[in-house]
Amino acid sequence: MKDDPRLTPLVAALPATVPFVGPEAQERALGRPFAARIGANESVFGPSPKAIRAMQEAAAEAWKYPDSHSHELREALAAHHRIDPGHILVGEGIDGLLGLLVRLTVTEGTPVVTSDGAYPTFNYHVAGFGGVLHKVAYTADHEDPERLIARGRDVGARLIYLTNPDNPMGTWHDGPTVARTIAQVPEGSLLVLDEAYIDCAPEGTAPPLDPEDTRVIRMRTFSKAYGLAGARVGYAIGPKPLIAAFDRVRNHFGMTRMGQAGALAALKDQTYLRETALKIAAARDRIAEIGKANGLSPIPSAANFVALDCGGEGALARAVLTGLVSRGVFVRMPFVAPQDRCIRVSCGTEADLAAFAAALPEALAAARAEMG
Amino acid sequence: MKDDPRLTPLVAALPATVPFVGPEAQERALGRPFAARIGANESVFGPSPKAIRAMQEAAAEAWKYPDSHSHELREALAAHHRIDPGHILVGEGIDGLLGLLVRLTVTEGTPVVTSDGAYPTFNYHVAGFGGVLHKVAYTADHEDPERLIARGRDVGARLIYLTNPDNPMGTWHDGPTVARTIAQVPEGSLLVLDEAYIDCAPEGTAPPLDPEDTRVIRMRTFSKAYGLAGARVGYAIGPKPLIAAFDRVRNHFGMTRMGQAGALAALKDQTYLRETALKIAAARDRIAEIGKANGLSPIPSAANFVALDCGGEGALARAVLTGLVSRGVFVRMPFVAPQDRCIRVSCGTEADLAAFAAALPEALAAARAEMG
């Protein structure tokens, strides 16, 4: 298909590839539904029943446009974090917020630093606005804050991206390490601290919030431990001038009423969130056990998934993944070596993990046979 | 507040103003809820009960990310319009789709043509990507297709924006006129035909769909007659290379599961849509009657609102609007002269319009007194 001649030169030069193929698209290709949906780091434990009820009630009011300020949710988040609401922007998931942040700060040729193999949707947005990505290798399966900062300084990066806990490996740094990293952000750079998985991590993984600090913007989401991936609600915490700048470019009426109501109710049910975190921790242990029982090495994780080292090159892990998918178990894997020696398994229900445990030995045997 | 120094020059130069202040923000300023919410061209008649039920069922599955292709909805839309799904892109309302379209085609200095006083969110997106807006006056309260095309040719416009039926005036052109306009689109230009209100308009207002035609992209929405403004679902119909290009920049997982399910169910309930269109037509008549009874001249409308000419300058209409809002009746008005001699009243329930009928004489008297 020939490009439309009216595209901007930047867009015309972008690849047609997309960051992720969703499970529904894979199911359509397979011709049947997955038996276990444990590949997209969703929360199979679901959101608080109160959040579901709130969304159901909001559905009856769906004829109204959403509040363009997400006022109630923003006020509740501000109270929850004990900060001023002017430091918070609610948006259509971290994906949407990352896109806007890149638009605000990156233009053609702007240098940006990330880790090689970290969240591809961030890279997608940087490329989409013409930024130049500089990638730093992981160190022992961890994103490496010191090297990220050093590279940021070297290239004069506008943005330096760090996920904590990391996706796709699940590894994490403690709060003091992240606080030191923030303190080292070079003048003119902004640390994008993606804390999508923070609610699954041990106490103390997040450094204290200091929203006046102009060196960092923090991203949080209701898609992971809160269990609301389908409602598209994330938020950014940062210095007021930066948060206010989003209002110049964002889709002001882009949130849904159901998402706003669901997130508000989920936020208010912290008991449910804590219970979910316990279920996530138990599921992580179970995934690690299943992996070990099959000769795979689990990478310690503070997220809602576990990377299992298949003990070979990327080709072996890819073959294992293919075997699992063809057996109805949806999992994913890191894109980049050496992390791509792993498969990545999201926390599941007991039934999900039983399906995984049943499929894994066959998938492994087939993959090993294929590798010779 | 001083700007963040890391903003791009383009963003740093953008104004902080937003296209619309939502009714909730106005209610917070007023300190009480509106008695009648008839300002944002929402559908007070609500969506199909089947759509509400579908969203409520989807809420229970909100832990899953949405299908990034909106596959089921897109297939159903394709069947509904009897076109290939490759010609359709589902997105977060027309606002979201317009933003993406501008991003695909407009860069700093790109000329764009619209009508002076037409949809401000389109202008917001054009400014947001650095495009240069050329505005053509309305002719007798209608957007003027011939002048739009002529100006588009003169300035070498990448995009030419036409709404049919028009917002904020409610006027419309018939299908043959729009078809002639499409045929006249200059080489290198794209007509953005915003048909948000088409489901409220007489048969024949939309020209036949020819999605292979590279001169036009058409925008439709579930926010108006379908009654799903709070679910954020719109779609674009256009030539395949252009539709495919959105995949290079859009937020692939930006839709919500509830929105996808609600729109699908609403689409399938065409009986409900037809009934709603009748209610809208009856409410338009009632708004016109109320206006006439108070000495205002209704502009004939094919949308879900009526512009009422207050018979003076913009200042008079603004005073009437202020009087209505302070009396608990949320309405809006055109931003630009000479259209701003009108207030714009969305179709409401009988109770809404009774509240409007009760408040209007007082608001008019106060406004006329204020004007001297």
**B18: CB partners within 8 A, 6+ apart:** A68, A247, A252, B124
Exposure string over A136-161, b if 16+ CB within 10 A, otherwise e: bebeebbbbbeebbebbbebebbbbb
Q: In the beta sheet, which residues pair with residue B132?
A: B111
State yes or no: pLDDT of B343 exceeds 90.
yes
Identify which of A11, A103, A228 has the shortest CB distance to residue B248. A11
Identify the pLDDT of residue B170: 98
Helix or strand run (H / E) with residue A152: helix A145-155
Question: Are A6 and B188 in contact (CB < 8 Å)?
Answer: yes
State yes or no: pLDDT of A18 exceeds 80.
no
Interfacial B residues in 120-139 facing A (CB < 8 Å)? 128
Most B-contacting residue of A3, A4, A126 (CB-CB within 10 A), to test interface: A4
State yes or no: pLDDT of B361 exceeds 80.
yes
Among A37, A7, A45, A29, smallest CA distance to A128 is for A7
Give yes or no for a contact between A263 and A93, defined as CB atoms under 8 angstroms apart: no
Question: Which class would CATH give B9-46+271-371?
Answer: alpha beta
Interface check for B185 against chain A (CB to CB < 8 A): the answer is no
State yes or no: pLDDT of A19 exceeds 80.
no
Fold (CATH) for B49-269 = Aspartate Aminotransferase; domain 2 (3.40.640)
What DSSP letter does each residue of A33-91 carry, written as one string?
--SEE-SS---TT-S-HHHHHHHHHHHTTTTSPPPTT-HHHHHHHHHHHTS-GGGEEEE
Question: In Å, how far are A66, A291, B92, B159 from B153, measured between CA atoms?
Answer: 38, 65, 31, 11
Fold (CATH) for A49-268 = Aspartate Aminotransferase; domain 2 (3.40.640)
Percent of chain B whose pLDDT exceeds 90: 97
Q: In the beta sheet, which residues pair with residue A139?
A: A142
B32-59: average pLDDT: 97
pLDDT tens digits, B145-184: 999 999 999 999 999 999 999 999 999 999 999 999 999 9
Q: In the structure, what pLDDT confidence band is assigned to residue B21 with cuts at 50, 70 and 90?
A: confident
Tell me how close the Cα of A177 comes to any Cα of chain B, in angstroms.
Answer: 25
Question: Are B232 and A253 in contact (CB < 8 Å)?
Answer: yes
- Fill in the DSSP letter of residue A160: E
Question: Are A71 and B99 in contact (CB < 8 Å)?
Answer: no
Identify which of B6, B228, B239 has the shortest CB distance to residue A188. B6
Could you give the residue range(s) of every CATH 3.90.1150.10 domain in chain A? 20-46+271-371
Question: Are B9 and A107 in contact (CB < 8 Å)?
Answer: yes
Identify the pLDDT of residue A320: 98
With residues binned 3-state (H G I as helix, E B as strand, rest as coil), the percentages for chain A, rounded to 5, are 45, 15, 40
Give yes or no for a contact between B345 and B296, defined as CB atoms under 8 angstroms apart: no
Tokens of A194: 């993606």
Tokens of A124: 């997608």
pLDDT tens digits, A24-46: 999 999 999 999 999 999 999 99
E strands, B137-233, are 159-163, 190-194, 216-221
Q: In the structure, what pLDDT confidence band is assigned to residue A100 with cuts at 50, 70 and 90?
A: very high
Interface check for A15 against chain B (CB to CB < 8 A): the answer is yes
> What is the side-by-side order of every strand in the sheet holding B234-237?
B88-91, B234-237, B216-221, B190-194, B159-163, B111-115, B132-136
For B260, nearest residue in chain A (alpha carbons): A230
In 3-state terms, what secondary structure has residue B36? Answer: strand
Average pLDDT over chain B, rounded to whole? 97
Identify the pLDDT of residue A289: 98
Could you give the residue range(s) of every CATH 3.40.640.10 domain in chain A? 49-268
Question: Are B62 and A47 in contact (CB < 8 Å)?
Answer: yes
Rounded CA gap, B249 and B272, in Å? 35
Interfacial A residues in 219-238 facing B (CB < 8 Å)? 223, 227-232
Rounded CA gap, B103 and B130, in Å? 10
For A105, nearest residue in chain B (alpha carbons): B7
A188-197: average pLDDT: 98
B49-74: average pLDDT: 98
State yes or no: pLDDT of A1 exceeds 90.
no
Between helix A314-326 and helix A23-30 the angle, nearest 10°, is 70
For B95, nearest residue in chain A (alpha carbons): A251
E strands, B232-336, are 234-237, 297-298, 305-309, 329-330
Percent of chain B whose pLDDT exceeds 70: 100
Contact residues, chain A, for B104 at CB < 8 Å: 6-8, 11
Identify which of A16, A37, A93 has the shortest CB distance to residue B253. A93
Identify the pLDDT of residue A54: 98
Identify the pLDDT of residue A20: 82
Residue tagged 């009108």 (tokens): B342
Exposure string over B167-186, b if 16+ CB within 10 A, otherwise e: bbbbbbbebeebbebbebbb
According to DSSP, the β-strands at A190-194 and A216-221 are parallel
pLDDT tens digits, A132-172: 999 999 999 999 999 999 999 999 999 999 999 999 999 99
Tokens of B348: 């409401």
In 3-state terms, what secondary structure has residue A191? Answer: strand
**B283: CB partners within 8 A, 6+ apart:** B304, B347, B348, B353
B170: left (phi > 0), else alpha (psi -120 to 50), else beta? left
Identify which of A7, A25, A71 has the shortest CB distance to residue B69. A25
State yes or no: pLDDT of B17 exceeds 80.
no
Tokens of B265: 């169910």
For residue A171, how many other CB atoms are within 10 A of its CB? 23
Identify the pLDDT of residue B259: 98
pLDDT tens digits, B218-255: 999 999 999 999 999 999 999 999 999 999 999 999 99
pLDDT tens digits, B138-147: 999 999 999 9
State yes or no: pLDDT of B19 exceeds 80.
no
State yes or no: pLDDT of A17 exceeds 80.
no
Q: In the structure, what pLDDT confidence band is assigned to residue A13 with cuts at 50, 70 and 90?
A: very high
Average pLDDT over chain A, rounded to whole? 97
Question: Are B4 and A239 in contact (CB < 8 Å)?
Answer: yes
Question: Are A71 and B28 in contact (CB < 8 Å)?
Answer: yes
Question: Are A253 and B242 in contact (CB < 8 Å)?
Answer: no
In 3-state terms, what secondary structure has residue A277? Answer: helix
State yes or no: pLDDT of A262 exceeds 90.
yes
State yes or no: pLDDT of B18 exceeds 80.
no
State yes or no: pLDDT of A108 exceeds 80.
yes
For B49, nearest residue in chain A (alpha carbons): A60
Superfamily of domain A20-46+271-371 in CATH is Aspartate Aminotransferase, domain 1 (3.90.1150.10)
- Contact pairs from chain A to chain B, CB under 8 Å: 282
E strands, A164-289, are 190-194, 216-221, 234-237
Give yes or no for a contact between B307 and B344, defined as CB atoms under 8 angstroms apart: yes
For A252, nearest residue in chain B (alpha carbons): B18
Interface check for B104 against chain A (CB to CB < 8 A): the answer is yes
CA dihedral B194, B195, B196, B201 (to 10 degrees): 150
Question: Are B22 and A253 in contact (CB < 8 Å)?
Answer: yes
pLDDT tens digits, B113-130: 999 999 999 999 999 999
Most A-contacting residue of B65, B105, B257 (CB-CB within 10 A), to test interface: B65
Tokens of B206: 């939309």
Could you give the residue range(s) of every CATH 3.40.640.10 domain in chain B? 49-269
Tell me how close the Cα of A294 comes to any Cα of chain B, in angstroms.
Answer: 29
Helix or strand run (H / E) with residue A162: strand A159-163
Interface check for A160 against chain B (CB to CB < 8 A): the answer is no
Could you give the residue range(s) of every CATH 3.90.1150.10 domain in chain B? 9-46+271-371
B281-292: average pLDDT: 98
Helix or strand run (H / E) with residue B83: none
